[in-house]
Structure 1
Amino acid sequence: MATNRIETLDPALIRPGRIDRKIEFPLPDEKTKRRIFQIHTSRMTLSDDVNLDELIMAKDDLSGADIKVRCVC
């Protein structure tokens, strides 16, 4: 099971004995965001108006999956 917002899950679902292990993946920092963008754009020709630095420095809460979606859509 995976969620971005564990606080929204019903407590009965996550009580002891049901979910025995919780692994947190924090949101990527700027260095990691840059690497994720590089991975997903390495085979693309980006338009001149695409500024990856602006996307990387943005204060929005982008996960690795969010970054991938922005690159392929």
Structure 2
Amino acid sequence: MATNRIDILDQALLRPGRIDRKIEFPNPNEESRQDILKIHSRKMNLMRGIDLKKIAEKMSGASGAELKAVCTKQGCLL
């Protein structure tokens, strides 16, 4: 099971013997966000002046999925 909102799960699910492990995957830091943007835009013909570092800076708190979605959406617009 995976969730972004553990706070809204029924407490019965979290009792011992049900879901015994919680593994947190925090959102990526700035360097990782930039790497993720590079990975998802590597096959795109980016316009000159596109600064992935600036985009990564502005997307503080974004998940990897959100970063991918930005690349996918913008790639469709080019």
Summarize deviations over 1:27-64 as a string: whole Å, max 9, x none: 10011001100100001012347442332112542111
Residue identity over aligned pairs, in percent, reads: 48
* RMSD of aligned alpha carbons: 1.6
The count of corresponding residues between Structure 1 and Structure 2 is 73
- TM-score by length of structure 2 reads 0.80
Which structure 1 segments of 5+ residues have no match?
A: none
Q: 1:68 is matched with which residue?
A: 68
Contact 2:30 2:60 in 1 (8 A): no
Greater share of residues in helix: 2
Q: 1:31 is matched with which residue?
A: 31
Q: Give, in whole Å, the separation in 1 of the partners of 2:4 and 2:49.
A: 31
Say whether 1:43 aligns with 2:53. Answer: no
Higher RCO (C-alpha under 8 Å, 6+ residues apart): 1
Q: 1:2 is matched with which residue?
A: 2
How many angstroms does 1:18 deviate by?
Answer: 0.8
Which structure 2 segments of 5+ residues have no match?
A: 74-78
